[in-house]
Structure 1
Amino acid sequence: MQRRDALRAAATAAALAALSFSAVAQEAFPARPLRIVVPFPAGGVVDVVARSVGQKLSEKYGQPVIVENRAGAGGSIGTDAVAKAAPDGYTMLMVGTGFTVLPQITKNLPWSPADFRGVLSIGSVPNIIVVPPETPVKTVGELIALARKSPQPLTYGSPGIGSSPHLSGELLAQMADVKMTHVPYKGQPEAMTDLLAGRISMMALSAALAGPHLKSGKLRAIGVTAGQRIVFHPEIPTVAESASLPAYDVRPWTGVFVPAKTPEEIVRRLAADMTEVLKHPDVKARMDTAGMELNPQPHVEFDAFIAAEGRRWAEVMRKAGITAQ
């Protein structure tokens, strides 16, 4: 009995010590500077979001939060750097839809979505499908009708295979069962030049990028890719509405990830603190300017969303005949 009591007491002491250590570790985090890796050049939507969130986190933590742009290979270079970082919460990845698409179209990626766990979904920047003003359509339904009777396939541009404008156009063609030709460009500026000149039929643009051209009349909006109308342009119907495609919904998202083995308590702490930061008026104002609709989604739900997105776009790429290169 004495030996059993001694063992029980020792086990209880060990459990209490473990709990105490966990609590202290959580209270101590963060004890040094943090890093948010953005695998794209500075100035894009993801970069703007990272800097806005990083600044407020720095104020909250009393520690520097450094945003590091590590662009290249469609986002793979920066993403791989975080996959190989210490799983301690001090190195985070802020990325977008390409995180679930790149594995479908790129062979021998040095990282996998399984190397990460989600911290928080930040929000989305819905695209607006636009056409040159001389195009004789005012709705996506009319665009589909034009595509069906046109002797040559309509064309849509994008800044590259797997980008959200590409996904928006490809999903529309598949769901409407029409033939459209994807024209990938080296980047957004080149695609915009041809769109404004009327050399391509249509393109899906972020609300922030499309806004000035809609106001000037250089482009016409015919549908929003999100499943519901967006707060920035509530007058524009959704593709689902205007084309009778109720399942059509494309929302380029932005979220935060950490290496897969990062402790649960640190993931929860980061998720809670970022959710609080996103409520700050300064951050909300910057998100509005970037055209982002905030929709913080906790890490468990975010991980489930990421898995579903991977399956969804894998199927779209398969139907399009796009295989890993």
Structure 2
Amino acid sequence: MRFTFRQPLIALASIALVHGLAHAADYPKDQPITLVVPFSAGGGADNAARIIAQGISEVSGQSVVIDNRAGASGSIGATFVARAKPNGYTVLYDASSFAINPTLRKLPYDAAKDFIPVSQAVSVPNILVASPQAPYNNLSEFIKAAKANPTKYSYASYGPGSLAQMAAELLKKSTGIQAVHVPYKGGAPALVDVMGGQVDVYFANAASSITYVTSGKLKALAVSSAKRMPELPDVPTVEESGVKPFAVEEWNGFFLPAGTPPEVVKQLQDYVQKALALPDVRTKLAKLGLNPVGSNSADFGKFVAAEQKRWGELVKSNGITAN
């Protein structure tokens, strides 16, 4: 009797497994993919996501819809994806703040357990920008001005826990200068206020700021990467300006909710890699100063863990809070 009772259960389990594998094999043919960008439209992550989404749509044959859910330095959008069905149709396109938030704020999700890293999409330097009317023309001059007037200056970020804040805090720690943090809900409004002179400086994502720099609407003081940007060959790095060590790059990547079938994770990873190999996608990304990466899921997971350790140490040493 015991054997007879188990037979239907085994059969049902087998049917469910076959159905799940078949569903994964059909991905993403059932419905459009929703790509959740947890930052405002017009910011660096949003600009990059829209370019890559077009590439994914081209290689997969399925439409990709961008859903901007800005706030709390990306954690609002991340929370939405963490609670979504793990079927591959709700995808998180997050930035460096994904690895910073866990040590900065109490989250309604576990970044290590509730997500599957799929692929690092791009890396991009940040550009330390100021209003064209600012009295300083490079980082050295800004540091001198900030030391002469310790309570005068401010810096923008696209939210507490963003890489823009971490870069500025690293600059403060390395130089001894002071600057008040002015957080925004996204990169686009931060850029507007820096251009208008309401905030003094901003480590802006190159994807959202390079066109303003080249058009003269923003002044570039330095770039955060280890090497100069080919698009801005006359702008020195932070390290060339005398602040060492200082190699900081923003990154964007794809995440899926925990529990997503491995076949779906692998399929989305392949689509991301194929999209990033398209000449048109690479050309558009290059114009924004973005470097395509397209790593695999395992390597991206290791990278995110290392980023969390690096910035977690800075959060603790500088006493950085989410306010």
Q: Shorter-chain TM-score: what band?
A: 0.7 to 0.9
Q: 1:242 maps to which residue? A: 241
Distance 1:195 1:63 in 2: 39
Matched residue type, 2:83: K
Give the 3-state SS of the residue equivalent to 1:286 in structure 2: helix
Distance (whole Å) between structure 2 residues aligned to residue 187 and residue 41 of structure 1 = 5
1:269 maps onto 2:272 in alignment: no
AA paired with 1:311? K
The answer to whether the 8 A contact 2:225-2:237 is kept is: yes
SS in 2 for 1:311: helix
Partner in structure 1 of residue 11 of structure 2: none
SS of alignment partner, residue 122 of structure 2: strand
Structure 2 equivalent of residue 168 of structure 1: 167
The code of the aligned residue for 1:173 comes to K
Query: Partner of 2:249: helix, strand, or coil?
Result: coil
Please tell me the root mean square deviation across aligned C-alpha atoms, in Å.
3.2
Q: CA deviation at 1:282?
A: 2.2
State the partner residue of 1:225.
224
Q: Secondary structure at the residue paired with 1:278? A: helix
Give 1:73 shift. 4.3
> 3-state SS of the aligned residue for 2:236?
coil
Question: Are 2:73 and 2:159, in contact at CA under 8 Å, matched by a contact in 1?
Answer: no
**111-120 or 149-158, larger mean C-alpha shift:** 149-158
2:67 corresponds to which residue? 68
Determine the structure 2 residue equivalent to 1:129: 128
Q: Distance in 1 between matches of 2:177 and 2:256?
A: 40
Q: CA deviation at 1:102?
A: 2.6
Letter matched to residue 70 of structure 1: R
Matched, 1:85 2:84: yes
| Residue aligning to 1:300 | 298
Give the gaps of 5 or more residues in structure 2. Answer: 1-14
Return the offset for 1:275. 0.7
Structure 1 residues not aligned, in runs of 5+: 1-16
Mean CA deviation greater in 250-259 or 307-316:
307-316
1:177 Cα deviation from its structure 2 partner? 3.0
Q: Partners of 2:172 and 2:125 in 1: how far apart?
A: 18
| Alignment of structure 1 residues 38-77 onto 2, 5 Å | 38-77=37-76
**1:146-165 maps to which residues of 2 (within 5 A)?**
146-150=145-149, 152=151, 154-165=153-164
* Structure-to-structure mapping, 1:186-201, within 5 angstroms: 188=187, 191-192=190-191, 194-198=193-197, 200-201=199-200
Higher-Rg structure is: 1
Percent identity among equivalent residues? 38
Letter in 2 for 1:271: Q
Alpha-carbon distance between aligned partners in 2 of 1:94 and 1:312, rounded to the nearest angstrom: 21
Mean Cα displacement is larger for which, 306-315 or 115-124?
306-315
SS in 2 for 1:240: coil
The separation in 2 between residues aligned to 1:142 and 1:157, in whole angstroms, is 18
Deviations 1:215-263 (CA, angstroms, capped at 9, x unpaired): 45554322101222223212212112222413x1222211000112223
Distance 1:129 1:293 in 2: 18
Deviates more, 1:73-82 or 1:234-243: 73-82
Q: What is the rounded CA distance, in whole Å, between the counterparts of 1:186 and 1:72 in structure 2?
A: 5
Deviates more, 1:90-99 or 1:193-202: 193-202
Normalised by the size of structure 1, how large is the TM-score? 0.80
**Cα pair distance change 1:66/1:162, threshold 3 Å:** same
Distance in 2 between residues matched to 1:120 and 1:219, nearest whole Å: 32
Change (3 A) 1:315 1:93: same
Residue aligning to 1:282: 280
The SS at the match of 1:87 is coil
Counterpart CA distance in 1 for 2:65 and 2:186 is: 27
Displacement after TM superposition at 1:121 (Å): 0.5
What are the superposed Cα offsets for residues 26-69 of structure 1, whole Å, 9 maximum, x if unpaired?
Answer: 64333412332222343333333333333333333333333333
